[in-house]
């Protein structure tokens, strides 16, 4: 029986924003005060469990924290939420990703200069919720081509994006807004680390037929990696842990691709790699490797 080969994408592990957010939360937990994450600090169940084991609680609203520290997650929050933390006398640890802070500054600038702010993103995603707080009253969120094609003509339009949006979608939106706005200003706020991860997923899709994508199901950048693989005609399986793997996914395959989202730790990814290799070493149901190859 041939050995199953797992091909890791060339970009994997935490991005710097996630690394910073986790480290700040862990450091806060060592101080003895009650520590509250305002929402999941990052969209990854393994990290969430690790922080919970250190006594960190997740809250949905600032009012749930009676005392101690509130950690603003990597996705950022609207200005009103920051003010509420201060007004309640709570200590704030800001773990907002530096690239999200940059997008917030650009959004504020557009609003101050009188532009209608067009945000490419998922309306209920925490990063987009935060950006809307900086965009003033005159803004709109669009996620699909159908939605941006329905935009009215505008005198002044400013365009920004949720950091995990695919670059091709941002380019397409900008091209469309150019046809309906008299004046346009664009800030490309798509995360370059996310872009590199998506390019790595595309490269991986050129080399294998089946790709396993590891990361939280509520992680936008991880879902986009799986979508990208499927757009390339590949079998893509989005999982959160090695326990979710199924041997039949790899029937007839000798090489499988593996990539993680930007909030997926390397130890989780390597655990999945070992499990895939173990499943590949098992004899197929019903007999020989020749039968498995014939049915692939």
Residue 283's pLDDT is 63
Residue 277's pLDDT is 94
Residue 43's pLDDT is 81
- Residue ranges and CATH numbers for the domains of the chain are 5-12+193-294 (3.40.1010.20), 16-96 (3.40.50.11270), 99-190 (3.40.1010.20)
Residue 290's pLDDT is 39
| Active site members | 127
Residue 294's pLDDT is 34
pLDDT per position in the chain (296 positions), as tens? 468 899 999 999 999 999 999 999 999 999 889 999 999 888 888 888 999 999 999 999 999 999 999 999 999 999 999 999 999 999 999 999 999 999 999 999 999 999 999 999 999 999 999 999 999 999 999 999 999 999 999 999 999 999 999 899 999 999 999 999 999 999 999 999 999 999 999 999 999 999 999 999 989 899 999 999 999 999 999 999 999 999 999 998 999 999 999 999 999 999 999 999 999 877 655 544 433 333 33
Residue 222's pLDDT is 94
Report DSSP letters for the chain, one per residue.
-PPPEEEE-SS-S--HHHHHHHHHHHHHHTTSS-EEEES-SSS-HHHHHHHHHTT-EEESSGGG--SSEEEEPTT---HHHHHHHHHTT-EEEE---HHHHHHHHHHHHHHHTTPEEEEES-TTSHHHHHHHTTS-SSEEEE-SHHHHHTPPPEEEEEEEE-TTS-HHHHHHHHHHHHHHEEEEEE---S-HHHHHHHHHHHHHHTT-SEEEEES-TT-HHHHHHHHHHHHTT-EEEEESSGGG--GGGGTT-SEEEEEE-TT--HHHHHHHHHHHHHHHHSPPTTS-HHHHHHT-
Residue 2's pLDDT is 60
Residue 62's pLDDT is 96
């Amino acid at each position: 029986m041939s050995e199953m080969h797992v091909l890791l994408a060339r970009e994997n592990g935490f991005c710097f924003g996630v690394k910073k957010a986790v480290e700040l939360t862990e450091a806060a937990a060592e101080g003895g005060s009650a520590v509250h994450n305002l929402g999941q600090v990052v969209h990854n169940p393994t990290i969430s469990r690790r922080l919970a084991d250190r006594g960190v609680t997740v809250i949905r609203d600032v009012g749930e924290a009676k005392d101690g520290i509130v950690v603003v997650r990597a996705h950022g929050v609207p200005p009103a939420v920051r003010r509420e933390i201060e007004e309640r006398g709570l200590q704030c640890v800001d773990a907002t990703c530096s690239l999200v802070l940059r997008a917030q500054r650009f959004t504020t600038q557009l609003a101050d200069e009188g532009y209608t702010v067009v945000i490419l993103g998922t309306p209920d995603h925490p990063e987009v919720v935060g950006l809307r707080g900086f965009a003033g009253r005159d803004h709109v969120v669009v996620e699909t081509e159908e939605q941006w094609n329905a935009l009215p003509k505008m005198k002044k339009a400013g365009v920004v994006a949720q950091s995990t949006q695919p670059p091709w979608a941002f380019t397409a939106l900008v091209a469309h807004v150019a046809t309906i706005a008299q004046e346009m200003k664009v800030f490309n706020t798509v995360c370059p680390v996310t872009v590199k991860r998506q390019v790595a997923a595309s490269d991986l899709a050129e080399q294998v037929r089946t790709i396993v994508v590891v990361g939280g199901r509520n992680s936008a950048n991880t879902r986009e990696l799986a979508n990208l693989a499927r757009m390339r005609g590949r079998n893509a399986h989005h999982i959160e842990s090695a326990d979710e793997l199924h041997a039949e996914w790899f029937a007839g395959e000798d090489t499988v691709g593996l990539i993680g989202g930007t909030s997926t730790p390397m130890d989780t990814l390597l655990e999945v790699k070992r499990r895939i290799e173990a499943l590949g070493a098992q004899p197929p149901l019903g007999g020989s490797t020749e039968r498995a190859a014939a049915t692939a």
